[in-house]
């Protein structure tokens, strides 16, 4: 069995290399907003000087993760009936699971005859039997706890800290990190094999196992899943696409009590711009992905659609939580949250003559950043009426009325967008990128269905990716789209999107 110390070693590097291939994967890597850190978490260039200096000065003030564990683990979350297995109790930062069953820890899945085999075993119909090893060796989710101890995390926490912080403030900040990087159930719900540093482990996605671990190795398991009994035992049906998407969105978009807000981003945390198919492609699969695609060539489209919906819903829930706190005059509430707006509406160059004045197509008035440009880009087509008043409330002024926003958010009803939804003149980089990802998902589903087509598809995808990629050394597009040395106009990007769409239509018609 490989040791846990393998984190950050070669498996991780291999992981990262996969993302250079030509697919949504490569794209996600290319556009990901992050600071100038390598995948090892080591600083590069001048930043490292400042960080080392900051570390040297402030290290004394840093609370250790162990100290945090004692603080957070001592408090008990209030039980909430309607929350899913993944929800976080926002007061305590602990998992507020719907079912009262205990968590057993990843080790309880790791026996070699269960999920801890070295190689996939083709003899079994329901599992490859090496899921634990795949997760441990290749999946970034098995190392997300360790990430909180790396240099970047320390730098983020340093930059967030204020001289006036008390222990409770520091503990809350770390509880927020733990909510995604190492979610914890309350102490009374930890079984004997439970380990408090398992990162994002099996039960976080599959549900607390105490009650279902026995039945799931019996012949009646399929029946229990079908009848809903499995869910009552605490099992999360990730086989259902909607559930799968909601599972990822809970952390990758955020949820009440765990958020990557603009403070965290400004301090160096990668901005969370999640799109399910792009991240799905990057994740080393411990399940029979190829079999699933063979059986269902529409899988990629279903994932895309479920992802759009789940992300939109998670983003609305997060906004409701924020608005509610702001409306209640919570002194810690940040309002409005910058991370919900178009980053590059604020972070762009001022030049004369102004390209922005000349080509403003944003839904927000000139001078206000557009709200929801990432998560609602595609949903704004299918759910426009219900989103309209919310966007309007968020874009009316720099101090939107939280009560008005809360009411508008409560009446939002999202409808899944169509992947064939019109390709339009992109209103922002976010919008162009979401359009691109929808087309790439369409391409993947045609490939899964074994439908060959014009060879230009690949080169059009490459061209679009280059047009959307940030210039070297930047975490933002130059102007709207300007990659490398080339000036790319909005019209050119629009043209490439149209071409790709036509090529895919042609391919579908073949």
- Tokens 């997760």 belong to 135
Answer yes or no whether residue 341 interacts with ligand HEC by CB under 6 A. yes
- Listed in sequence order, the residues at least 6 apart from 18 whose beta carbon sits closer than 8 Å to its beta carbon are 25, 282, 284
**Please, what is the minimum distance in Å from the beta carbon of residue 323 to ligand HEC?**
17
- Residue number, 167 or 452, with CB nearest to ligand HEC: 167
**Please, what is the minimum distance in Å from the beta carbon of residue 505 to ligand HEC?**
28
**Please, what is the minimum distance in Å from the beta carbon of residue 77 to ligand HEC?**
16
- Residue number, 160 or 498, with CB nearest to ligand HEC: 160
Q: At what angle do helices 402-410 and 299-327 cross, to 10 degrees?
A: 150
Q: Where are the beta strands (DSSP E) in 302-383?
A: none
Answer yes or no whether residue 375 interacts with ligand HEC by CB under 6 A. no
**Please, what is the minimum distance in Å from the beta carbon of residue 166 to ligand HEC?**
17
Rounded Cα distance between 76 and 188, Å, is 9
Within 13 A of 386's CA, how many CA atoms are on the CB side? 16
- Listed in sequence order, the residues at least 6 apart from 425 whose beta carbon sits closer than 8 Å to its beta carbon are 361, 490, 491, 494
Answer yes or no whether residue 224 interacts with ligand HEC by CB under 6 A. no
- Residue number, 226 or 509, with CB nearest to ligand HEC: 226
With CB under 6 A as the contact rule, the residue among 98, 101, 138, 141 that binds ligand HEC is 141
Q: Which of residues 180-209 bind ligand HEC (CB under 6 A)?
A: 180-181, 183, 200-202, 204-206
Tokens of 128: 């490859």
With CB under 6 A as the contact rule, the residue among 96, 104, 109, 323 that binds ligand HEC is 109
Which range of residues in 221-229, 243-251, 316-324, 483-491 is near ligand HEC by CB under 6 A? 243-251
Q: Which of residues 36-75 bind ligand HEC (CB under 6 A)?
A: 41
With CB under 6 A as the contact rule, the residue among 156, 306, 480, 501 that binds ligand HEC is 156
Q: How many helices (H) does the chain have, and how many strands (E)?
A: 24, 0
Could you count the other beta carbons within 10 Å of the beta carbon of residue 494?
16
Using an 8 Å Cβ cutoff, are 19 and 25 in contact?
A: yes
Degrees to nearest 5, angle at CA 237 with 235 and 240 = 175
Answer yes or no whether residue 481 interacts with ligand HEC by CB under 6 A. no
CB contact burial 250-278 (16+ within 10 A = b; e otherwise): bbbbbbbbbbbbbbbbebbbebbbbbbbb
Could you count the other beta carbons within 10 Å of the beta carbon of residue 1?
12
- Residue number, 278 or 379, with CB nearest to ligand HEC: 278
Q: What is the dihedral of CA 91, 92, 97, 100, to 10 degrees?
A: -120
Answer yes or no whether residue 338 interacts with ligand HEC by CB under 6 A. yes
Using an 8 Å Cβ cutoff, are 461 and 497 in contact?
A: no
Tokens of 344: 């590059």
Q: Which of residues 252-311 bind ligand HEC (CB under 6 A)?
A: 252, 254, 258-260, 262, 264-266, 269-272, 279-280, 282-283, 286-288
Rounded Cα distance between 142 and 116, Å, is 14
With CB under 6 A as the contact rule, the residue among 157, 230, 464, 469 that binds ligand HEC is 157
Which range of residues in 188-196, 308-316, 335-343, 405-413 is near ligand HEC by CB under 6 A? 335-343
- Residue number, 279 or 355, with CB nearest to ligand HEC: 279
SS3 148: coil
Residue 110 backbone dihedrals phi, psi, to 5 degrees: -90, 0
Q: Which of residues 434-463 bind ligand HEC (CB under 6 A)?
A: none
With CB under 6 A as the contact rule, the residue among 185, 207, 256, 369 that binds ligand HEC is 369
Binding site for ligand HEC (CB under 6 A): 32-33, 41, 106, 109, 115, 127-128, 131-132, 135, 140-141, 143-144, 147-148, 150, 152-153, 156-157, 173, 176-177, 179-181, 183, 200-202, 204-206, 238-239, 244, 247-248, 250-252, 254, 258-260, 262, 264-266, 269-272, 279-280, 282-283, 286-288, 338-339, 341, 343, 345-347, 369
């Amino acid at each position: 069995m490989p040791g846990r110390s393998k984190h950050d070693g070669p498996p991780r590097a291999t992981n990262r290399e996969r993302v250079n291939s030509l697919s949504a994967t490569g794209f996600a890597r290319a556009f990901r907003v992050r600071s100038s850190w390598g995948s090892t978490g080591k600083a590069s260039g001048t930043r490292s000087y400042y960080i080392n200096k900051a570390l040297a000065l402030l290290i004394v003030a840093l609370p250790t993760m162990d100290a945090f564990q004692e603080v957070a683990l001592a408090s008990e979350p209030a039980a909430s009936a309607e929350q899913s297995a993944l929800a976080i109790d926002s007061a305590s930062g602990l998992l507020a699971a719907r079912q009262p069953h205990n968590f057993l820890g990843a080790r309880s899945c790791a026996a070699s005859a269960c999920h801890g085999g070295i190689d996939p075993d083709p003899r079994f119909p329901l599992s490859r039997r090496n899921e634990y090893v795949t997760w441990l060796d290749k999946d970034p989710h098995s190392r997300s706890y360790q990430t909180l101890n790396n240099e970047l995390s320390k730098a983020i926490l340093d930059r967030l800290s204020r001289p006036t912080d008390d222990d409770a403030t520091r503990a809350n900040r770390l509880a927020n990190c733990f909510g995604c990087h190492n979610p914890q159930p309350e102490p009374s719900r930890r079984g004997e094999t439970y380990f408090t540093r398992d990162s994002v482990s099996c039960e976080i996605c599959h549900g607390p196992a105490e009650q279902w671990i026995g039945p799931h190795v019996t012949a009646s398991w399929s029946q229990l899943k079908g009848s809903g009994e499995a869910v009552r035992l605490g099992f999360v049906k990730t086989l259902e696409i909607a559930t799968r998407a909601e599972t990822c969105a809970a952390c990758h978009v955020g949820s009440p009590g765990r958020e990557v807000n603009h403070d965290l981003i400004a301090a160096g945390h990668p901005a969370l711009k999640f799109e399910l198919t792009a991240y799905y492609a990057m994740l080393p699969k411990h399940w029979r992905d190829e079999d699933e695609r063979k059986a269902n060539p529409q899988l990629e489209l279903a994932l895309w659609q479920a992802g759009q919906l789940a992300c939109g819903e998670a983003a609305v829930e997060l906004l409701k939580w924020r608005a509610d706190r702001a409306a209640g005059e919570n002194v810690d509430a940040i309002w409005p949250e910058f991370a919900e707006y178009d980053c590059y509406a604020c972070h762009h160059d001022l030049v004369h003559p102004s390209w922005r004045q000349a080509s403003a197509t944003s839904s927000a008035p000139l001078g206000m950043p557009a709200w929801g440009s990432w998560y609602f880009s595609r949903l704004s087509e299918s759910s426009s009426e219900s989103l309209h008043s919310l966007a309007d409330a968020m874009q009316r002024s720099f101090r939107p009325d939280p009560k008005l926003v809360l009411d508008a958010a409560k009446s939002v009803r999202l409808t899944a967008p169509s992947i064939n939804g019109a390709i339009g003149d992109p209103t922002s980089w976010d919008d162009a990128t979401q359009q691109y990802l929808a087309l790439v998902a369409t391409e993947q589903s045609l490939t899964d269905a074994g439908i060959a087509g014009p060879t230009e598809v690949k080169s059009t995808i490459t061209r679009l990716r280059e047009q959307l990629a940030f210039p070297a050394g930047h975490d933002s597009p130059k102007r709207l789209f300007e990659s490398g040395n080339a000036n790319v106009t909005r019209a050119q990007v629009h043209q490439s999107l149209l071409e790709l769409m036509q090529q895919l239509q042609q391919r579908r018609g073949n």
